[in-house]
Structure 1
Amino acid sequence: MKLLGRKSDDSEGSRDDGRAEPAADNHHSADHVQSDDTPAGRRATTAPKGRPTPKRSEASRRRGPVAPAPMTTAEARRRRKELGGPKLTRAEKKEQRAERRTIMSERRERMMAGEAAYLLPRDQGPVRRYVRDVVDSRRNILGLFMPSALGLVFVMLAVPSVQVQQLLSPAMLVLVVVMVIDGFILGRRVNRLADEKFPDNTESGWKLGFYAASRASQLRRMRAPRPQVERGAAVV
């Protein structure tokens, strides 16, 4: 048996349910919008890079395929030959070697002649050139160090006598002391002359003195660059 108020209640509940459904949908959409505003949603977006992102096909075409690593030494050698270009004949290799030797000999000759563009860093500058001229214009006791030392060593090896070795050992010590004194005097003289000619010189006296002593200790014909002044010439 149906009651009179029951039907109206059911209809009202159904109408209430119908009105509540949109509210639930609105709540769901609000939750969805709120989830988009979360930090996780912001992390999903990236800042613009200032240039368009290349397509996958363009990126693969630009890089090209990557060759696998060589498995043996012979394969690695073959790859190096292929990357090096076409193989040269024996005559072409000989011509290249001759050309390199010619270029090297020309550079060395210009360096020995004292051209500034071909000098080593230790020999560059007007101060170093002046020091070389001062050293080459005088007779240095340091120039006798190499032949004297070689002569003493030869005598010690050729005459393995105790008496001779006892005499040569003090002689070697005296020779070293004389060379050190001569190098010290030469270094002071070179620094004084260089300061007089180049008042704005910034090189340390120790470097110039050592440079002069090392050049003076070499034989004249073995000095590089080649001496540009004669012995006894006035250097100004």
Structure 2
Amino acid sequence: MFRRTKQETAPVDQPLKEGGKGRPTPSRKEAEAAAKARNKPPRTRKEMTAAQRARANEDRNRARQGMRNGEERYLLPRDRGPQRRFIRDFVDARFSFIELIIPLLVITMILGYSGQPSLARFGNALLFGSILLVAFDMVMLRLRLRRQLAARFPDEPVKGTTYYAVTRAMQMKFMRLPKAQVKIGQELPETYR
């Protein structure tokens, strides 16, 4: 009555090979049937829009993952090029006080709403001091970055590099896109071309 396929007759307890793909290689007949099914044109408009939507989602996910990983072809125009890659690595390799600003803001809010004026004044002083520290850090970032850019990219214009570096440094490290490729304190390569 019913015909059994190869998959139904295969033993279930087969150990998976280490590093294998986890499934048997399809026969030529099965592979051709799968390719034919993939290439079959949609019969209705509904199927066509569903297929287009699925393709667009797949492309978007691939581009998003490529951007996270720093693949050059998926990056936005502002992020492309060896100079911008160096700036990203330069910012990511240094500790920035901006990463402490969010916890300090939370502490300041708690102290401000505590109801005690002395704690509120301390919170305000803490917030003002951290803002000054961040501003000093950004000035030092600019000076060091300009020196490094002049040494590594002598022929390239430096217009917009400070803004790019400061906006990247203002983000917390885990929120940066493309993701950080270097660790804090890591030595940067000499060439980025």
Bin the TM-score by the shorter chain: 0.5 to 0.7
Give the whole-Å Cα distance in 2 for the aligned partners of 1:145 and 1:93. Answer: 46
Counterparts of residues 145-184 of structure 1 (less than 5 Å): 145-157=101-113, 159-184=114-139
Distance 1:92 1:180, change over 3 A: same
Distance of 2:108 and 2:60 partners within structure 1: 37
Identity of aligned residues (%): 29
Which residue number in structure 2 is paired with residue 110 of structure 1?
66
After superposition, the Cα gap between the structure-2 partners of 1:93 and 1:184, relative to the gap in structure 1 and judged at 3 Å, is same
Moved over 4 A (4+): 91-95
User: Alignment RMSD, CA only?
Assistant: 2.3
CA distance in 1, matches of 2:116, 2:52: 55
In our comparison, the structure showing a higher alpha carbon Rg is 1
Q: d(CA) in 1 for partners of 2:61 and 2:115? A: 44
User: Do the aligned partners of 2:98 and 2:172 also contact (CA within 8 Å) in 1?
Assistant: no
Secondary structure class of the residue paired with 1:138: coil
Equivalent residue, structure 2, for 1:218: 171
In the alignment, is the contact (CA less than 8 A) between 2:107 and 2:123 conserved in 1? no
Kindly tell me: are residues 105 and 155 of structure 1, through their superposed partners in 2, closer, same or farther at Cα, counting changes over 3 Å?
A: farther
SS of the residue corresponding to residue 131 of structure 2 reads helix
| Structure number with higher relative contact order (C-alpha < 8 Å, ≥ 6 residues apart) | 2
Is it true that 1:189 corresponds to 2:150 in the alignment? no
TM-score between the two structures when normalised by the length of structure 1: 0.55
- Equivalent pair of 1:146/1:217 in contact (CA under 8 Å): no
Question: Relative to structure 1, is the Cα distance of residues 119 and 154 closer, same or farther in structure 2, using a 3 angstrom cutoff?
Answer: farther
Structure 1 gaps, min length 5: 1-86
Instruction: State the alpha-carbon separation in 1 of the partners of residues 109 and 50 from structure 2.
Output: 43
Separation in 2 of the partners of 1:154 and 1:102? Answer: 44
Cα gap change, 1:210 to 1:164, in 2 (>3 Å): same
Q: Distance in 2 between matches of 1:164 and 1:92?
A: 63
| 8 Å CA contact 1:139, 1:231 repeated in 2 | yes
Q: Distance in 2 between matches of 1:201 and 1:226?
A: 24
Of residues 71, 76, 84, the one that matches 1:128 is 84
For residues 225 and 97 of structure 1, the distance between their equivalents in structure 2, rounded to whole angstroms, comes to 26
What is the alpha-carbon distance in structure 1 between the residues aligned to residue 61 and residue 106 of structure 2? 30
Counterparts of 1:163 and 1:95 in 2: how far apart (Å)? Answer: 63
Which residue identity lines up with residue 136 of structure 2 in the other structure? I
Q: Which has the higher helix share?
A: 1
Contact 2:108 2:123 in 1 (8 A): yes
Greater mean deviation of Cα atoms: 124-133 or 161-170: 161-170
Query: How far apart are residue 150 of structure 1 and its match?
Result: 3.6
Structure 1 counterpart of 2:18: none
Q: Partners of 1:182 and 1:108 in 2: how far apart?
A: 31
User: Contact conserved, 1:137 with 1:233, CA < 8 A, in 2?
Assistant: yes
Equivalent runs, 1:52-131 vs 2, <5 Å: 88-89=45-46, 93-131=49-87
